[in-house]
Structure 1
């Protein structure tokens, strides 16, 4: 793997769009799943489905997992599985019990800022220049504008401080994970890498799911089963593979644009699937955000 990410091409933009759709659509699956499943159980279910899908991908592509004796690789995969998948899922699920979704989205949109800052100090080829810094800030501003109407009704002061801090921690964890992906042995196949950290996250989720399992049991309808399968196969299995491929091809800063673009897709899905009203600022915010994305991916003048 080259240390210097190449300029994004058509394939890279296509991967970015696919990831935005896969992660942005997770909102709908989660919305349906939590009707009957505790958050910890839903997270565990989607992780195990995702791990199975990626495991089958490893078999089909003859991409073996690292040897158990490779402690360094498994150490990084464990960090990615815990900090980039399991813990953020749980932190966000807990925080959204008391924090408005608009405020939660803004906190999570801070992940690209974390990526940009960490890359500046840890990844020589991804140092911030003026265009990238402005682009990341503009993108974050676009997300803030998107949810401004909702925040007028449910402001920062109206939400408890602890859940807000948990959301900020989730954003930092997401951002740091994007950098850690670059630390994994580049010879490890992307499918094997994705399977490795999702499998670790799935294993870590078991005790939490057992603890959260309701005494009365769980009765699932067809739509709940489809929601779990969609979250596991698409938003966890396929999405994490695309995530790894994108970072390896063009670096974590470009990939971090997903953190700002996914809320727009989530809103569109909510409008279509659940008849939720589009924020009045949707299209103006999208235009601002796309301008920020354009600045971030330009690697020219500093």
Structure 2
């Protein structure tokens, strides 16, 4: 679990560095293409086969996950991080389980919201509102930081929806092949956007930019997905959900040490409230 916390929590620092020189669409395409390559190697090593090209239903679901659950959130986060601290981005994404709870209530009959989970969603929503408070009071509703935070909130919603869409994938498909499939689709879909966004004058990368891009692709996308799908089968999804809860703390530490990011006290209060709400939602077996 610690490995995933570091890999996922560090992704926001890598994005922070990457968007200094690359347009968000280009950065995301690089990340996805590298990640797809790493996952492809994982498939070869584990003899996990991708679905047949004629398996239109499975590829349809993988395309949906790749487009709305991978490419679009990566893009929204990268755009937002041009104006928002990396740690704050991680905190917003921690709200994804709230979306899962709401979607499951309507789409998964066996996972309806009971009173406890509904209270958790409400508490988490209060935490999200508190995250917005400094931007609204200091800059007004039309300020760029507010727009960026809305993009992050949208990314959290999309990430949450992925957990529901994954249930639609053929259960006989190997988890590594599933991850490789939707990341591969996302990588292919990202290429036209990257070509369109490529700067006319080209890009000039320093060593730290190269390391950030490689870290995002190899570690935070490729290796992290491999570790996730292999670990979740041993310890279960409830235990693994703690990764998302702990990742913001690692991101806050990295942001403070690497970039000198200083978040207001209200942000830490919002994080505590948000994670308490997520805990109430996830701590459920009790009905």
Residues 1:151 and 1:18: Cα distance change in structure 2 (over 3 Å): farther
| Among 99, 110, 115, the residue aligned to 1:125 | 110
**Which residue pairs with 1:185 in the alignment?**
170
Whether the 8 Å contact between 1:109 and 1:143 is mirrored in structure 2 is no
Higher mean alpha-carbon deviation, 181-190 vs 258-267, is at: 258-267
Contact 1:28 / 1:269 at 8 angstroms: preserved in 2? yes
CA distance in 1, matches of 2:268, 2:144: 27
Alignment correspondent of 2:34: 49
List gaps (5 residues or longer) in structure 2: none
2-structure distance, mates of 1:206, 1:185: 27
Aligned pair in 2 of structure 1 residues 121, 254: CA closer, same or farther (>3 Å)? farther
Aligned partners of 2:225, 2:195: CA distance in 1, in Å?
25
Partner of residue 260, structure 2: 275
User: Could you list the per-position Cα deviations for residues 37-65 of structure 1 after superposition, in whole angstroms to 9, with x for gaps in the alignment?
Assistant: 11111100000110011000001111111
Q: Distance in 1 between matches of 2:255 and 2:53?
A: 43
CA distance in 1, matches of 2:271, 2:152: 23
Helix, strand or coil at the partner of 1:25 = helix
Q: 1:299 aligns with which of 258, 264, 284?
A: 284
Give the Cα separation in 2 of the matches to 1:163 and 1:286. Answer: 18
Partner residue of 1:21? 6
- Deviates further, 220-229 or 93-102: 93-102
Residues 102 and 58 from structure 1, CA distance in 2 versus in 1: closer, same or farther, beyond 3 angstroms?
A: closer
Relative to structure 1, the CA distance from residue 111 to residue 233 in structure 2 (aligned partners, 3 Å threshold; closer, same or farther) is same
TM-score (normalised: structure 1): 0.79
**Deviation, structure 1 residue 153:** 2.8
Secondary structure of the structure 1 residue equivalent to 2:264: coil
Q: Is there any run of 5+ residues in structure 1 with no aligned partner, and where?
A: 1-13
What whole-Å deviation, never above 9, does each CA across 1:129-156 have from its counterpart, x for those lacking one?
2222223333444455467556543454
Q: Larger deviation: 276-285 or 68-77?
A: 276-285
Q: Say which SS state the counterpart of residue 265 (structure 2) adopts.
A: coil
2: distance between equivalents of 1:160 and 1:34? Answer: 16
Instruction: Measure how far apart 1:106 and its partner are.
Output: 7.0
Question: What is the root-mean-square deviation in Å for CA atoms of aligned residues?
Answer: 3.3
Cα distance in structure 1, aligned partners of 2:116 and 2:158: 25
Aligned residues between the structures: 286
For 1:200 and 1:217, how far apart are their aligned partners in 2? 26
Change (3 A) 1:229 1:299: same
Residue 100 of structure 1, CA deviation: 7.9
Whole-Å separation in 2 of the counterparts to 1:273 and 1:101: 10
Deviations 1:190-224 (A, max 9, x none): 11110000000001111111111112112222111
Q: Which residue of 2 aligns with 1:72?
A: 57
| 1:4 alignment partner in structure 2 | none
Please list the CA deviations of residues 152-176 of structure 1 after superposition, one character each: whole Å capped at 9, or x if unmatched: 4345453498766655543332222
Q: Which residue of 1 aligns with 2:100?
A: 115
Inter-CA distance 265–259: structure 2 relative to 1 (3 Å threshold): same
Cα distance between partner residues in 1 of 2:129 and 2:241: 16
Contact kept, 8 Å, 1:94 with 1:163, in 2: the verdict is yes
